[in-house]
Copies of this chain bind each other. A is one copy, B any other.
Amino acid sequence: MNHIQALQQFEALIQAPTPDALHAQLTDVVQNLGFEHYLCGLSANLNLPDPKVFALNGVSQAWWDHYQTRSCLAVDPTVRMLLREQRVIPLPWWDIRCINPSEKQFMGEAVDHGLNSGVSFSLNARHEVGVFSLILKHQPRQLRRHVSHAIPLGNLLAAYVQEAARRLMDNQGNPGSKLTRREKECLLWAASGKTAWESSVILNISERTVVFHLTNAARKLGVSNRRQAIARAIVEGLIRP
C-alpha cells in the first residue's frame, strides 16, 4: 500500500458515522498495514468521576474483558510510558521496560492472550489522552523491520483515529456547555484568587450574586465547594486562568 492510498483510507475514517463503522474500517486499515489487531483507548477528562471513555476493541473479547475487570490501566506499561511519562514518540513493544512485578505479569498475560508484539502510539489533545496500539498475534520473521516500517503510517493513523473518535464523542453530547456565561466568569475570577466581593466589583454585580453563580456552578459540576469547582472547571477545560 503506498502513501497516497493510505492517506485516502485514513481520511475516510474520520467520516465514520458510528463506532461500529469505525471499527470495521479500522480493522481493514490495520491489516493493510500488516498487523492483525489494534486497540484504542481514549479518555476525555481523565481521572474524573465521569470521564468520557471511548474504547475500540480490535483484539479478542477475552483479553478486553480481562483488561477491564482487572483494571489493568494501572499496570499497563504502555499507559505509564505514553500517558504518565508523557512520551510522545511511538513506543515499539521491545522498548518497554517493566518497572515492577505487576507490569511484568501484565505483559506475560498479554502474550498468553495472543498479543505477541506491536507498537503503541500516544494520543494527546488538550483535554483528552489515550493510547492506540497496533498488535501482532504471531511474531514475523523480521519483527523489528516489520514494525519499524509501519511506524510512520501507524503514527499518522493514530492521529486520524483520535480525530474520528472525537467526532463520535462530540456527537454524544457536550457537557462543557452546561455552565452559563456568568457562572464561567465567576469561576474564572475565583480561580484568579478573587473573593466573591472582589469579583462582584469586577463584574459590576452584587456580592450575593457572585456567590449565587458559584454555588450553581459547583452544583452543576457535581462538587460541594468553590475550590473543587475551580479545580474541576480547569481540568474540564471550561475556564482558562
Contact = CB atoms under 8 A, between A and B. Distances in A.
Contacts of A90: 156, 159
A36 B130 CA distance: 33
Interface residues on A, range: 35 or more
A3 B149 contact: yes
Contact of A156 (B151, B223, B227, B230): B151
Secondary structure at the A interface, as helix, strand, loop or mixed, is helix
A27 B200 CA distance: 52
A190 B6 CA distance: 49
A129 interface: yes
Given A152-B156, A155-B155, A86 B126 contact: yes
Interface string A198-241: 00000000000000000000000001111110111011000011
Interface string A59-77: 0000000000000000000
A98 interface: no
A160 interface: yes
A3 B151 contact: yes
Contact of A234 (B6, B14, B152, B235): B235
Interface string A110-135: 00000000000001111001000000
